[in-house]
Amino acid sequence: MCAGCMACVDSCRHGAIAIEDTIEAYNARIDPTRCVGCGLCEKTCPQMVSPSSLRPLEWLQGWAKDTSLRMSSSSGGLATAISEAFVASNGLVCSCAQEGGEFRFHLTSDADYLRRAQGSKYVKSNPLGAYREVREALQGGQRVLFIGLPCQVAAMRNFVGSRLADSLYTIDLICHGSPSPKVLSRFLEETGNNLSNELILDFRKKVQYQLRYRGAETVGRTGVRDRYSIAFLSGLPYTEGCYSCRYAKGDRVSDITLGDSWGSELSDEVANGISLALVQTDKGRELLEMTDLELLPVDPGLAVANNEQLQLPSTKPIERNTFMDGFRNGVRVNRLVLRARPKDCAKYLVKDILLALGLLRG
């Protein structure tokens, strides 16, 4: 089942592969008139070749000591803090940011870009072109930090190969699953919004899940979870391969795994954001040691209990096929989510009314 990582497209020198986004799934399409049967795409594919994975050596939780960075992050700000420290040590970082209505990866040493790449992205990102960029940088003697989903990290490791692996540092992000960007685009269109360079979405602020434009208004009333967020958190719109993800397990494919330290006993720090960090390698330890972080041990059992994808993939909701059928037939996203999750929608509708009447604070 295709993960939509785009590594096969980057690997093909003959332009024989295209990735089809059907909304329900991503599928690789091969043009037989261009394919020469070299097999590079298969060697790169993280669904066909899984690179080595390791049990975490250390289980940590913490946050960036830079307060402004921490407060502007979805969680504790570790990914951005590590990125900035890596760039300061003359390395390059490849990570995802929203640009021009798309969620694309870029290789950079620009501090401003690293800040734009902050935040959770509850949509499938597109690393097309990043694999070649990273490999070329490594071949040129550069050190590169790649930050992505586990399937993307696996694809990058396959693409780069063992010869250049020593200079490649990797961080994977604990992933529930990811929807086609077509779902988000339709939802925004239906609510009178859009994606552009000027309007950058923040998908989450600490423990509050709600789409908002960075530095501007929320999509809907502040404090009221929108229907896209309800759908995402229930697993309705993920692409098919996410429900059988081979990387949702305890053994990890990266140097460091980052996520949220849900259920942390550090109750006074929860509102400010606490990140979870699993360290698999000495290179992972090196990344943490070069960064100004507050780090504390976390109980592995607690971390796993509150991050299910450290054990298994997300469960496919029984309403998912009906949701996808309706989406293909042009039914509005708000209506589809209401049908699939009436209790959640009713809860936030009541909250919206109470806020409008001034009977509740957001």
What percent of the chain has a predicted confidence (pLDDT) above 90? 73
Three-class SS string for 151-189? HHHHHHHHHHCHHHHHHEEEEEECCCCCECHHHHHHHHH
Which residues have CB under 8 Å from 42's CB, separation 6+?
A: 48, 49
pLDDT at 357: 76
Whether the predicted pLDDT of 271 surpasses 80: yes
Alpha-carbon span 129 to 116, nearest angstrom: 19
pLDDT per position as a tens digit, 139-149? 999 999 999 99
- What DSSP assignment string belongs to 284-349? HHHHHHTS-EEEEE--HHHHHHT-GGGTSPPPPPTTHHHHHHHHHTT--HHHHHHHH-HHHHHHHH
pLDDT per position as a tens digit, 159-171? 999 999 999 999 9
pLDDT per position as a tens digit, 294-349? 999 999 999 999 999 999 999 999 999 999 999 999 999 999 999 999 999 999 88
Whether the predicted pLDDT of 62 surpasses 70: yes
Q: Is 214 helix (H, G, I), strand (E, B) or coil?
A: coil
pLDDT per position as a tens digit, 193-232? 776 644 555 554 544 555 665 555 555 555 557 888 899 9
pLDDT at 116: 84
Alpha-carbon span 107 to 142, nearest angstrom: 11
Contact assessment for residue 123 and residue 179, using Cβ atoms and an 8 Å cutoff: yes
One-letter amino acid identity for 153? V
Alpha-carbon span 276 to 272, nearest angstrom: 14
Helix, strand, coil share (%) of the chain residues, nearest 5: 40, 20, 40
pLDDT per position as a tens digit, 73-108? 888 999 999 999 999 999 999 999 887 678 899 999
Contact assessment for residue 161 and residue 138, using Cβ atoms and an 8 Å cutoff: no
- Token pair of 87 as six digits: 């760039």
**Could you say which DSSP state residue 200 is in?**
P
pLDDT at 216: 54
pLDDT at 352: 75
Alpha-carbon span 187 to 43, nearest angstrom: 37
The β-bridge partners of 94 are: 107, 146
Helix (H) or strand (E) holding 144: strand 144-148
Least confident segment among 2-6, 66-70, 208-212, 315-319: 208-212
At residue 38's C-alpha, the angle toward residues 163 and 132, to 5°, is: 45
pLDDT at 1: 87
Alpha-carbon span 314 to 43, nearest angstrom: 27
One-letter amino acid identity for 14? H
**Could you say which DSSP state residue 218 is in?**
B
Query: Chain-centre distance of CA 151, in angstroms?
Result: 10
Angle between helices 333-340 and 342-356 (to 10 degrees): 120
Which residues have CB under 8 Å from 228's CB, separation 6+?
A: 122, 183, 184, 187, 211, 219, 333, 337
pLDDT at 206: 41
One-letter amino acid identity for 288? L
Query: Chain-centre distance of CA 3, in angstroms?
Result: 13
pLDDT at 217: 54
pLDDT at 348: 84
Alpha-carbon span 161 to 320, nearest angstrom: 37
Alpha-carbon span 11 to 9, nearest angstrom: 5
What percent of the chain has a predicted confidence (pLDDT) above 70? 91
The β-bridge partners of 96 are: 105
pLDDT at 349: 85
